[in-house]
Amino acid sequence: MGKRPRIQQFAPYEIWGREIEADAIRQMDNACTLPISIQGALMPDAHMGYGLPIGGVLAVKDAVIPYAVGVDIACRVKMSVLDLAFDRFEALQEPFRAALEQGTRFGMGESFKRPHNHRVMDEDWTFCPTVKGLKDKAWQQLGTSGSGNHFAEFGLLTLSAAEMGLEPGNYLALLTHSGSRGAGAAIAKHYSTLARRLHPELPKHLSDLAWLDLDRSEGLEYWKAMELMGRYSSANHDIIHQSVLSHLGAVSVLTLENHHNFAWKMQCGDEEVIVHRKGATPADRGVLGVIPGSMATPGFVVRGLGNTRALNSAAHGAGRKMSRNAAIKQFSRKDLNRFLEKKGVTLVSAGLDEVPMAYKDILDIMAQQKDLVETIARFDPKLVKMAEPDGKGRRKQKR
């Protein structure tokens, strides 16, 4: 790679939104000093992460940065609009709760002893030892939702105008947030360690931004693994939606989905670049995406405006405004229940670290990215399941 500039250059980047924590800006500054960096962008929901901040977008030349994709490779959201009237859901929520309980599993390490079948498991998982060794785990985790900010929920989708082939009105929708689970995490760990080892010259503040060259076998192997995790994560959501809907005998009339932790090849002027979006929604012109809020605040279906200054990206959610530990310290179950009641949301399970009050105001975030996406529908969560506070997903006690 002799063509790379030897002198440290600073790639330009713009910030969307106000009140972004200084640590996230410092991380983005750092990322833009890498010799491979071409352009960056910081989304309004940004906060600190490993290497690149969550809500960070980075275009680089001929390389991929594992920690700029993220630990949960291909973390993704999917919405199914159902053929059931919202009124029916409101009248009797119990079958829907049962469908969430039985259709997926939450918690770190959760899996199925009798794995689901999906054609993604027929793909080549043998192209490298790391991926090969993860195939069985991946198979057993198909259809699981994990932990952290992941969820499965029913809610009210409101269209104020005809869109996506749907008439204006109220719809019942299923929204899920999951990713590539243990397999993706292990791949992320393996290749970020490898990248760091291949770049001993990087100073400490840049070591988590170590990259893999895409003209070398390590980079090509990571890229292949990342893309497989992309299809695996999509399959994971497929299974979750299939399972949940089959418990209800419901059919989807429309599905929407997008990654928000991934890297893409993108034409940038007359050169091809690698665009990493780590907690950022693809927002190419005309492309639909889903930006969830929190368990009790709205999410939005959006259409990208293709703003190249933001590398065709947008926020991926409300963004945390405090750490998990701070949220647990500051808020009680009573505080949470009061908030849920006010918003008319039934919570099946979740930890206090996910309280809506720990997130920025999603309406504010949307207002700050009007030049990145247009809003075409609103989704209000009504029945929400997340991982139990102890990290598991199943109820241990009779409720």
Partner DNA sequence: ATGTCC
CA–CA distance, 245 with 264 (Å, rounded to integer): 31
- Cβ closer to DNA: 148 or 282? 148
Whether residue 104 contacts residue 348, with contact meaning beta carbons closer than 8 Å, is answered with no
Coil, helix or strand for 12?
Answer: coil
CA–CA distance, 333 with 164 (Å, rounded to integer): 39
Q: Which residue has the tokens 């939450």?
A: 106
CA–CA distance, 240 with 260 (Å, rounded to integer): 18
10 is in an annotated binding site: no
| Smallest distance, DNA to C-beta of residue 366, A | 20
- Cβ closer to DNA: 136 or 227? 136
151 is in an annotated binding site: yes
152 is in an annotated binding site: yes
Provide the H-helix boundaries in 7-59. Answer: 22-31
- Cβ closer to DNA: 179 or 282? 179
Q: Which two tokens stand for residue 92?
A: 């009797």
The answer to whether 241 is a known catalytic residue is no
Contact positions toward DNA, by CB under 7 A? Answer: 71-72, 75, 108-109, 137, 141, 146-150, 178-179, 181-183, 185-186, 391
Q: State residue 171 phi and psi, 5-degree precision.
A: -130, 150
Which residues touch 368 (CB under 8 Å, ≥6 apart)? 16, 17, 18, 44
Paired with 156 in beta bridges are 172, 380
- Cβ closer to DNA: 172 or 230? 230
| Smallest distance, DNA to C-beta of residue 105, A | 11
117 is in an annotated binding site: no
300 is in an annotated binding site: no
Give the annotated binding-site residues.
72, 149-153, 177, 260-261, 292-295, 316-319
Catalytic (active-site) positions: 316
Give the annotated binding-site residues for Mn(2+).
72, 150, 177, 260
